[in-house]
Amino acid sequence: MTLSCAPPVAASLIATTETILHIAPVSKGWKAEAPGNVVFFPPTLTKQALLIQIGLLRPSTIIVADQAIDADIIDQWRISHPFGDLFLVRRGTSLDKVRLDLCARNHIRVVNTPGVDAPHVAAYIAHWLTLGDGSIPPDICVMGYSNVGKELVKLLLDRHPDIRIRVLARHGQTSDSCAKTFPDSRVSFVVDWHQAMQGAQAVAVCLSLNAESAHRIDQSLIQCMQKKARLVCVAKPDVFSDDALQALAWAEDIQLVLDYGPVTLDGFRMRTQVLGCSACSWCKPAMLTTQAATSEACNCDLDYAVTVQLSLLALRGLVRRKLAQSLTLPAQRVDTGAPRVSIIGRGINGLLQAVMCRLANYQVTVYGGDQESEGASHKNVNMRHLSATETTAKPLHNGYLFSGNQCLAVECNRAGIELFEKLLADNPSLAPFAQSRIVRAYLEDASDVEAAIREQRHIENRPWPSGKPGRVPAELNRPQLQARYGIPGIARAIEVSGYDLDFLHVRDGIVALLQRSGVQFLPQRLSRGQIADLSRKHFVVTAMGVEQTEVVAIIGWFFKLRAVGNEGANMRGLKLQYDLPIGVMNCRLDGDYIIVSGGQVPPNSTEQCKSQILEACRAAVSRHFPNSYSRAIESADLQVIECARPGTLNGISIVHWSAYNCITAGATYAAGTTQGLVWASLVQELVQARTPAVLGKYCHSND
């Protein structure tokens, strides 16, 4: 289950795209929260009506459920929107009703949301497998071991300790290989269809329809089940052959429960009528339902997955627009008649918001002092990293950090890297304080190193949000690492895209460019009431980090110690991969000092827990820099700097309108530096889109 029907930033990102035509089921929450460019129609919309709406609305994106997307629809769509890529989002898994060949020919990108509804569908199957007395047959056959099949097996095992399950393995898999991935003696895997269904009391059919499974359940398989078996099918009914349906029609005690979309079920009814065995006239009439994936909870999860896909599309468009513009901060001040924007917060997030607002020719005022506070931007620590997987699992691993969020966070990070590269190129005074490339290093005793490196390679290989092709990252072995950094305890490492920053110099350089450009800095801290009053007069962007109301504060530390000997020589952009709660430890040599960051204290932790995490971090610093750490302890020269960084439960940033003309922006662990320019660019476009209406309102009130 998700926190809501969409990530907090999704509506703001999606609002920057062209018209989106939504002809699929929808949750009440997303229908209420969606921006105005999302136009909803019921999934029962006829083909003729759909063709008319495509011609009228000229959407760049269409969201569908079980509808057929054929040559007529594709041709009309491309005629109405002749230029640029189009996007078809399948709200679900199956793509068999989509003419993928014609989509590719017409530059229509097709994405789906596989597995999102699997827990809900599995629970629905389990409900229909349950007998009238609340018990469940002790022997169950599960036909298919994809997303739904896996969820169903786990669910049945959790609920019924004495159950026995036979699973039909997927095509190309052996029963032995499946058993190794699921080592439970109550589950057996088979590859023979007759062996799977022989004597079965209950059968759950959750197969994908393909050349192997079409019409594969025939009369002989129906007859090999027990006479009073229950058959629950959430696959397309084309898995049944004609003689299987006729056998079911005459079976006195076999109950078929078939769940799918209304269009598919109508086709099933017509098919049985043509066969002379109408589904409603069977000896035990078939139960036809459309409820497995239609609950509000399931709709929320599906909408969440769809909005993540829409956010990724919007993100790519945002990055490409900004890279086509100049990010050079002008030397002259803005015209005094220009509209005003106030930025609340002088951390790196607030400064980058000021950069993009000034580039849009607004009069910008930044509120907040530069004194040390809880936030990391105000600590006297000259280090910050930008990388693709920067802080993608913050604040801690939890049930809301599912794969869709991780994917969106990674792409936001990569977008931020591309925009930061553009900022450096267009403002050369900042370039000396940034070094490209990050090294992710894995410890000698770490687990799943191969999988972690494989993930990094996959991210590096794929195209960037701008469309720029990926690259093949270089791997570093132990001798290379030792020669480069002189740090013990590292086995393997991979060099990935990103930046190591002289953070204090970058921050001060941005402030200098903004001041030269006419941006005003005021030291006072405003109350929430004052911020609300200010937003009545002009646009306000709150970028307050841990002080935001929606934010979870994550405690961590910087460690600063004088380097001894060759330890940490030439060290920049190094990340030591530790499991939580230590987390990834960023390292660099800053002059004569080694700087290391680490630690994630879960919210609401006790002081004892916090102390234990701190000691674990200190032990890690001692492990990799033993001589420097010993000298620092002996001379009482070890600096331990505590800071709080902002996080959200789902790891995704926050950008949304709040009171009057106020935008809340940022609010994740990585949103300050790595993603900062992404959200500043988004805020810039949102403010620009609303500026004419706001200026008109205030001009009218002044008259």
Report whether pLDDT(21) > 80.
Answer: yes
Instruction: Name which residue leads in pLDDT, 551 or 277.
Output: 277
pLDDT the model gives residue 647 = 78
Confidence of residue 172 (pLDDT cuts 50, 70, 90): low
Cβ atoms of 664 and 550 within 8 Å: the answer is yes
Confidence of residue 702 (pLDDT cuts 50, 70, 90): very low
Q: What is the SS3 assignment for 176? A: helix
Listed in sequence order, the DSSP H helices in 606-666 are 607-624, 626-634
Report whether pLDDT(178) > 70.
Answer: no
Nearest partner of 81 among 18, 124, 157, judged by Cα:
18
Instruction: Name which residue leads in pLDDT, 124 or 397.
Output: 124
**pTM for this one?**
0.88
pLDDT the model gives residue 371 = 46
470 burial type by CB count under 10 A (0-12 exposed, 13-18 middle, 19+ buried):
middle
pLDDT the model gives residue 176 = 54
Helix axes 118-129, 296-323, angle to 10 degrees: 170
Using CA atoms, how far apart are residues 315 and 423, in angstroms rounded to an integer? 18
Q: Give just the sign of the alpha carbon dihedral 607, 613, 617, 620.
A: positive
Report whether pLDDT(353) > 70.
Answer: yes
Each residue of 562-600: b (16+ CB within 10 Å) or e? ebbeebbeebbbbbbbbeebbbbbbbbbbeebbbbbbbb
Q: pLDDT tens across 301-333, in order?
A: 899 999 999 999 999 999 999 999 999 999 999
**Average pLDDT over the chain, rounded to whole?**
88
Report whether pLDDT(370) > 50.
Answer: no
Using CA atoms, how far apart are residues 129 and 152, in angstroms rounded to an integer? 11
Nearest partner of 290 among 272, 256, 265, 273, judged by Cα:
265
pLDDT the model gives residue 391 = 62
Instruction: Name which residue leads in pLDDT, 199 or 697.
Output: 199
| C-alpha 335 chain-centroid distance | 40
Q: pLDDT tens across 458-498, in order?
A: 999 999 999 999 999 999 888 888 888 888 888 899 999 99
Q: pLDDT tens across 239-249, in order?
A: 999 999 999 99
Instruction: Name which residue leads in pLDDT, 669 or 468.
Output: 468
Average pLDDT over residues 391-407: 58
CA distances (Å), origin 341, targets 162, 178, 263, 353, 694: 65, 59, 52, 10, 12
pLDDT the model gives residue 171 = 59
pLDDT the model gives residue 3 = 52
- Residue whose token pair is 């009130």: 701
Average pLDDT over residues 36-42: 96
Nearest partner of 486 among 384, 385, 624, judged by Cα:
624
Instruction: Name which residue leads in pLDDT, 701 or 268.
Output: 268
pLDDT the model gives residue 180 = 55
Give the contacts of 424 (CB within 8 A, at least 6 positions apart). Answer: 430, 431, 434
Using CA atoms, how far apart are residues 342 and 327, in angstroms rounded to an integer? 20
Using CA atoms, how far apart are residues 655 and 88, in angstroms rounded to an integer? 25
pLDDT the model gives residue 217 = 93
pLDDT the model gives residue 393 = 45
Centre a 10 Å sphere on the Cβ of residue 501 and count the other Cβ atoms it contains. 25
- Strands 38-40 vs 20-23: parallel, antiparallel or unpaired: parallel
pLDDT the model gives residue 133 = 81
Listed in sequence order, the DSSP H helices in 209-347 are 219-223, 242-250, 262-274, 296-323
496 burial type by CB count under 10 A (0-12 exposed, 13-18 middle, 19+ buried):
buried
Report whether pLDDT(700) > 50.
Answer: no
- Residue whose token pair is 């439960």: 649
| C-alpha 103 chain-centroid distance | 25
Least confident stretch, 40-49, 95-104, 209-218, 425-434:
209-218
Average pLDDT over residues 686-703: 62
pLDDT the model gives residue 682 = 95
pLDDT the model gives residue 162 = 86
Report whether pLDDT(183) > 90.
Answer: no
400 burial type by CB count under 10 A (0-12 exposed, 13-18 middle, 19+ buried):
middle
Report whether pLDDT(563) > 60.
Answer: yes
pLDDT the model gives residue 161 = 85
Instruction: Name which residue leads in pLDDT, 455 or 380.
Output: 455
Using CA atoms, how far apart are residues 21 and 76, in angstroms rounded to an integer? 14
Return the top range by mean pLDDT from 529-538, 543-552, 621-630.
621-630
pLDDT the model gives residue 701 = 43
pLDDT the model gives residue 604 = 83
- Strands 639-647 vs 552-562: parallel, antiparallel or unpaired: antiparallel
pLDDT the model gives residue 6 = 85
Q: pLDDT tens across 43-87, in order?
A: 989 999 999 999 999 999 999 998 899 999 999 999 999 998 999
- Strands 434-443 vs 490-501: parallel, antiparallel or unpaired: antiparallel
Confidence of residue 262 (pLDDT cuts 50, 70, 90): confident
CA distances (Å), origin 671, targets 159, 459, 599: 41, 19, 18
pLDDT the model gives residue 670 = 54
Cβ atoms of 614 and 599 within 8 Å: the answer is yes
Report whether pLDDT(205) > 70.
Answer: yes
Least confident stretch, 102-106, 395-399, 425-429, 624-628:
395-399
Report whether pLDDT(426) > 80.
Answer: yes
pLDDT the model gives residue 165 = 92
Domains for the chain: give ranges and CATH numbers.
10-114 (3.40.50.720), 118-289 (3.40.50.720), 325-688 (3.50.50)
Give the contacts of 575 (CB within 8 A, at least 6 positions apart). Answer: 385, 387, 438, 439, 440, 441, 584, 585, 586, 587
